[in-house]
Amino acid sequence: MFLLLILAIGFYLYQTGELQRILSKFQSNESIHISDARRVIDLRYAAGKISTEEYSKIKDLL
């Protein structure tokens, strides 16, 4: 019975478009974390804390 209720709520959210908005919030958080990581790497490279080789390897990973 509980599973049926969850499915009904999920279907309602899908039909109204709210499900897409909820999922996009979770996906946008990931991109914020990645952009923050890139910014930190750029700052560390500019300060001379990491070498050019390390910088390029890390950038390729992201």
Q: Which tens digits make up the pLDDT trace of 1-14?
A: 888 888 888 888 88
- The Cα–Cα gap between 35 and 52 comes to 19
Span 20-36, average pLDDT: 70
Is the pLDDT assigned to residue 35 strictly greater than 80?
Answer: no
Is the pLDDT assigned to residue 30 strictly greater than 60?
Answer: no
Contact present, 45 and 55 (Cβ < 8 Å): yes
Span 29-54, average pLDDT: 80
Is the pLDDT assigned to residue 46 strictly greater than 70?
Answer: yes
